[in-house]
Structure 1
Amino acid sequence: MRFFNTEGPVHCAQHYCLPPLVRWDLDEILGLIERQKYFLLHAPRQTGKTSCMLALMEHLNREGVYQALYVNIETAQTVREDVASGMRAICGAIGASARGILGETRLFEWLDEALAEQGAHGALSGMLTRWSAAAERPIVLLLDEVDALVGDTLVSLLRQLRTGYTQRPALPFPQTVMLCGVRDLRDYRIHARSEPAPITGGSAFNIKAKSLRLGDFSAAETRTLLEEHTQETGQAFTPEALARVWELTCGQPWLVNALADRTCFEQPEGRDRSRPISAAMIDAAKESMILERVTHLDQLADKLREERVRRIIEPMLAGELLGNLPLEDRDYLVDLGLLRRAQGGGLEVANPIYREVLPRMLASGPQDSLPRIAPTWLDAQGRLDPERLLTAFLAFWRQHGEPLLCSAPYAEIAPHLVLMAFLHRVINGGGSLEREYAIGAGRMDLYLRYGETTLGLELKVWRDGRPDPCAQGLKQLDGYLAGLGLDSGWLIIFDRRGGQPPIAERTGAEEVSSPAGRRIWVIRG
């Protein structure tokens, strides 16, 4: 029986899969190879790059026009700036792959000759020249995890490939080299000991003909993948479940496979093949993935510590404009798969799961710092009472707001993160908290659901030099609550202006009517 794959390359005999070569324009790839071009493939982690490269190698070798070889060179990452060790590791990986995949055993002999004649900075080009001269067919070399390399080792790799390329046809060299990694070559900022200043991958490898990006699944491809399970087992996905997978993932390949795998093979209800997969089961799988901080999501959240990531994510969560941030920083987050460029322009978080993971991970510090809080917001029947919740929050914020702000990793949105930490303590596995935020919106919207109780909240910040955001917030909250079908909600205004009294003194709440006549509690803190 096949299953959904969440680790390593896909094998269609073992895994539900879309044939890898249908995910990109094969004619374009073959055209680049035919014209002897060197090019790049890049995409976020766990989107299928390796599967596509392996499929391309098999296709080319089966057709018999070229001799193609896939090589993962990330083992050279560990030597960092040691060029001699790095080039030995890269050349060794190429030699081992050639021996195992093509049955070519002479590369290690050629490597020793190249090292003796040309040293570490010529070993790769020397070995590839000898191989190309002896090969019966033109060589297509597919190098994976290139952007895992750093410093002088990466510079040496790129420049040896560039040297070999420019010396053709006087000297034999691979017909095509494809470099693959998470980032596009333009974003390689190489800090090399041999260079007075950082250099870019584009300047070190200016022979690149094209950069190709492997995209996410389309809605139709997502549905096709899920329906392979139905064809194999007879277990159907309801139309709502199919739509929910697409809605949550926007086609991110690992997320699609992980949601389906967890639902169909780990949940007791999902393992019952007589039961169709429902949207509620998909939601439960999503929540468990986030709570367990599965590896993919944990690696994604780890990027939040990087300064260039913080400079974009922090104002985005606050609903502020990004300002004059470098294009390479914005492109970097798109290449990582954290963000995407919306069809109408502008940046947005790549999918709803990431949109939930980012603030939740950032709020984990304040959440771990929370003191023990009695659930006074529940009534005698265990139902959430919004008025009791308001009283509990005001008391919590007056007592703990000031010190907890220091535990938040992003200072500009510290109040947002502390509030979310408190609300996660409130739901505590018995409810859900959904977030909406966008660049330039000037707010963050939250939707809390606990049993039969729902609550819509809007968060705004009052900063120096700006007017009181209350009037604008009430109007915006009307629109948000209308979309949720609610006639009441909270508007929370965090006063971050200088010279204000302590939080314990300035925190309070009053009930007002919105422009549309909704009952709103305006909370200031």
Structure 2
Amino acid sequence: MPRWFNTAGPCRDDIHYMLPATRRLPNLERLIAQQNYFVIHAPRQIGKTTAMLALAKQLTDSGQYTAIVVSVELGSPFNDNPQQAQAAILSSWRSEARVYLPPELQPPPKQEMEVGQGIEETLRQWAQTSPRPLAIFIDEIDSLQNEVLLSVLRQLRNGYPSRPRAFPQSVGLIGLRDVRDYKVAAGGSDRLNTSSPFNIKVRSITLRNFNASEVAELYGQHTQDTGQVFTPESVALAFELTQGQPWLVNALAKEIVEELVIDESIEITPEHILEAKEIIIKRQDTHLDSLAERLRENRVKAIIEPILAGQELPESSNDDRQYLVDLGLLKRDPAGGLVIANPIYREVLPRVLAQGPQDSLPTISPSWLNDRGELMTEALLQAFLGFWLQHGEPLLKSASYPEIAPHLVLMAFLHRVINGGGTLEREYAIGRDRMDLCLRYGEVTLGIELKVWRTRKVDPLSKGLEQLDGYLARLGQDEGWLVIFDRRENALELEERLKTEIQVSPMGRLITVIRA
């Protein structure tokens, strides 16, 4: 049977390319043997459910445990009605047990339960009737909120002292976040901020991304099955762009082998990886779309906005910063500081935020192209000046992140420019108060640095020229643009301040300075 790269739901080894599912979750069997309760948390589509399904099967097949993955997601529509929620949850558990367990290991027949104790009592009876110790892995736990969530956690805690004779020997909660960050009010405005309803956990474990050799191993399975080769350079680029995020690793390969290069005699090159990257970003599949949805949350915005603007992070709780790490949006750089988790997310976030201004843009004639379809940078400059004078300031109001509104409007304009077949890359770093853009169109590579002149700050011109030198050096370019947005309270009217001038950088490069 042919196998495929998987981007939807748990992997199955008979139809999907996949790595040993439990490799990235070491020592769980020891925790279970020690009768521990634990939490597995990691971003969506990183392989949590796949890994735990594999572990449950492995434990059950060993003959030592009754182990199963169950979900509480069917209870989430009833977050304010514990009785209805528990009925839906227990019904789904029984269905899952019929699928994954032999009859002698399934829970006992449904019985009348006390209100608010259905899950606890079912687990007690199941543990008592099972011929083996019971290990239950509860998936989608953070889909529950309010009284239902607290009720489930308290029932687990209440039964814990009776393990393993009259309660599961081991329970694992599987979700996006650690227990302390579960919601107890709709919209997440109030969080537990404590693990006390589940203070019986011994460990919180996160599932890591693939490393570089694992990406090569996964892509190598396709080569083994089909003979189609991923060049070492393409594998290295895939890892660089994804940092091993499993959904992204699979999505790139799936787009290439099923759409871009279906002839298996053709080897996969870095150019194919880049083309696939652009396609999945533009298409904004469910994974990227759900990630982008998080940008609306205030606690996410409070940290992502200064990162995109290159500013220092404000004083914020460690919980809020950890929340973004748990979501997979950020990671802690080994060199220090928080950074966007991977280059593809680094592309996605500002593109999503620029969508509002982009949707509001008027029709713009591509006056920057000559008769041969080549980009003329001087014509592009004049087109931007005209656009900014007429539409720039009104469009700033359509940006959802005010601190970087000028950046987003400029990016929206540049996205119109590259619609004809170019790319726009972005760089930003905490504390440098800048965003760098690289527009590539045909033979043209244009490096652009964006700076904001804020109230009670000095003119960023000299610092900008110095920083742009470094960026252009990396791009191998001798010319570039420095765009300075004047956002001071006493700034001149746009008609008076909008102008350009040529400056020579400290390293002798010719820089077009645009004051907007």
* 1:429 CA displacement: 3.9
Structure 1 equivalent of residue 41 of structure 2? 42
- Cα displacement string for residues 44-86 of structure 1 (whole angstroms, at most 9, x for unaligned residues): 1001111101100110011111111111221111111111011
Structure 1 equivalent of residue 511 of structure 2? 520
Are the aligned partners of 1:398 and 1:505 in contact in 2 as well (CA < 8 Å)? no
Q: Distance in 2 between matches of 1:132 and 1:450?
A: 65
Q: Does 1:264 align with 2:253?
A: no
Are the aligned partners of 2:145 and 2:183 in contact in 1 as well (CA < 8 Å)? no
Q: Does 1:213 align with 2:206?
A: yes
- Cα displacement string for residues 279-316 of structure 1 (whole angstroms, at most 9, x for unaligned residues): 11111111111111111111111111111111111100
* 1:486 CA displacement: 0.5
Q: Distance in 1 between matches of 2:284 and 2:46?
A: 19
Q: Distance in 2 between matches of 1:198 and 1:443?
A: 34
Q: CA RMSD in A?
A: 1.5
> Pick from 442, 445, 452: which aligns with 1:454?
445
Are the aligned partners of 2:105 and 2:130 in contact in 1 as well (CA < 8 Å)? no
* 1:108 CA displacement: 7.3
* 1:377 CA displacement: 1.1
* Local SS of the residue matching 1:421: helix
Structure 1 equivalent of residue 8 of structure 2? 7
* Local SS of the residue matching 1:237: coil
* 1:201 CA displacement: 5.2
Of 93-102 and 125-134, more deviation after overlay is shown by: 93-102
Q: Distance in 2 between matches of 1:459 and 1:488?
A: 15
Q: Does 1:204 align with 2:197?
A: yes
Q: Distance in 2 between matches of 1:231 and 1:106?
A: 38
* 1:380 CA displacement: 2.8
- In the superposition, relative to structure 1, how do residues 198 and 423 fare at CA in structure 2: closer, same or farther (>3 Å)? closer
Query: Could you tell me which amino acid in structure 2 is paired with residue 249 of structure 1?
Result: T
Are the aligned partners of 2:446 and 2:480 in contact in 1 as well (CA < 8 Å)? yes
> Pick from 139, 159, 165: which aligns with 2:160?
165
- Cα displacement string for residues 416-468 of structure 1 (whole angstroms, at most 9, x for unaligned residues): 00000000111114100000011112100001100001100000111111111
Q: Does 1:147 align with 2:142?
A: yes
* Local SS of the residue matching 1:180: strand
Q: Distance in 2 between matches of 1:504 and 1:281?
A: 45
Q: Distance in 2 between matches of 1:362 and 1:266?
A: 28
Are the aligned partners of 1:190 and 1:200 in contact in 2 as well (CA < 8 Å)? no
Could you list the runs of 5+ residues in structure 1 that have no partner in the other structure?
A: none
* 1:239 CA displacement: 2.1
- In the superposition, relative to structure 1, how do residues 165 and 326 fare at CA in structure 2: closer, same or farther (>3 Å)? same
Q: Does 1:240 align with 2:233?
A: yes
Could you list the runs of 5+ residues in structure 2 that have no partner in the other structure?
A: none
Counterpart mapping for 1:395-474 below 5 A: 395-474=386-465
Structure 1 equivalent of residue 224 of structure 2? 231
- Cα displacement string for residues 228-262 of structure 1 (whole angstroms, at most 9, x for unaligned residues): 11111111112221111111111000000000000
Are the aligned partners of 2:119 and 2:152 in contact in 1 as well (CA < 8 Å)? yes
* Local SS of the residue matching 1:373: coil
What's the TM-score once normalised by structure 2's chain length?
0.97
- Cα displacement string for residues 14-62 of structure 1 (whole angstroms, at most 9, x for unaligned residues): 111101022221xx11111111000011111001111101100110011
> Pick from 182, 186, 203: which aligns with 1:188?
182
Counterpart mapping for 1:103-114 below 5 A: 103-104=102-103, 111-113=110-112
What's the TM-score once normalised by structure 1's chain length?
0.95
Query: Could you tell me which amino acid in structure 1 is paired with residue 232 of structure 2?
Result: P
- Cα displacement string for residues 75-101 of structure 1 (whole angstroms, at most 9, x for unaligned residues): 111111111011112222222222332
Are the aligned partners of 1:457 and 1:490 in contact in 2 as well (CA < 8 Å)? yes
Of 427-436 and 415-424, more deviation after overlay is shown by: 427-436
Q: Distance in 1 between matches of 2:285 and 2:266?
A: 26
Q: Distance in 2 between matches of 1:186 and 1:34?
A: 25
* Local SS of the residue matching 2:347: helix
Are the aligned partners of 1:348 and 1:438 in contact in 2 as well (CA < 8 Å)? yes
- Cα displacement string for residues 168-192 of structure 1 (whole angstroms, at most 9, x for unaligned residues): 47x6110000000011112124239
Structure 2 equivalent of residue 21 of structure 1? 22
Q: Does 1:341 align with 2:332?
A: yes
Query: Could you tell me which amino acid in structure 1 is paired with residue 458 of structure 2?
Result: P
* Local SS of the residue matching 1:190: coil
> Pick from 280, 290, 293: which aligns with 2:271?
280
* 1:109 CA displacement: 6.0
Structure 1 equivalent of residue 78 of structure 2? 79
Q: Distance in 2 between matches of 1:429 and 1:312?
A: 34
* Local SS of the residue matching 2:500: strand
Q: Does 1:328 align with 2:323?
A: no
Query: Could you tell me which amino acid in structure 1 is paired with residue 329 of structure 2?
Result: L
- Cα displacement string for residues 339-377 of structure 1 (whole angstroms, at most 9, x for unaligned residues): 111111211011100000000010011111111111111
Q: Distance in 2 between matches of 1:242 and 1:377?
A: 36
Q: Distance in 2 between matches of 1:338 and 1:468?
A: 33
Structure 1 equivalent of residue 377 of structure 2? 386
Structure 1 equivalent of residue 172 of structure 2? 178
Aligned-residue identity in percent:
53
* 1:203 CA displacement: 1.5
Q: Distance in 2 between matches of 1:243 and 1:131?
A: 49
Q: Distance in 2 between matches of 1:447 and 1:98?
A: 54
Q: Does 1:100 align with 2:94?
A: no
Structure 2 equivalent of residue 133 of structure 1? 128
Q: Distance in 2 between matches of 1:124 and 1:424?
A: 52
- In the superposition, relative to structure 1, how do residues 366 and 112 fare at CA in structure 2: closer, same or farther (>3 Å)? same
Structure 1 equivalent of residue 55 of structure 2? 56
Q: Distance in 2 between matches of 1:372 and 1:518?
A: 34
Q: Distance in 2 between matches of 1:199 and 1:410?
A: 28
* 1:381 CA displacement: 2.2
Q: Distance in 2 between matches of 1:458 and 1:311?
A: 23
* Local SS of the residue matching 1:61: helix
- Cα displacement string for residues 175-227 of structure 1 (whole angstroms, at most 9, x for unaligned residues): 000000011112124239xxxx8534502111110011001000000010011
* Local SS of the residue matching 1:9: coil
Query: How many residues in Structure 1 have an aligned counterpart in Structure 2?
Result: 512
Are the aligned partners of 2:421 and 2:441 in contact in 1 as well (CA < 8 Å)? yes
* Local SS of the residue matching 1:361: helix
- Cα displacement string for residues 98-156 of structure 1 (whole angstroms, at most 9, x for unaligned residues): 2332244897765423x1xx22x211111111111111111000110000101100000
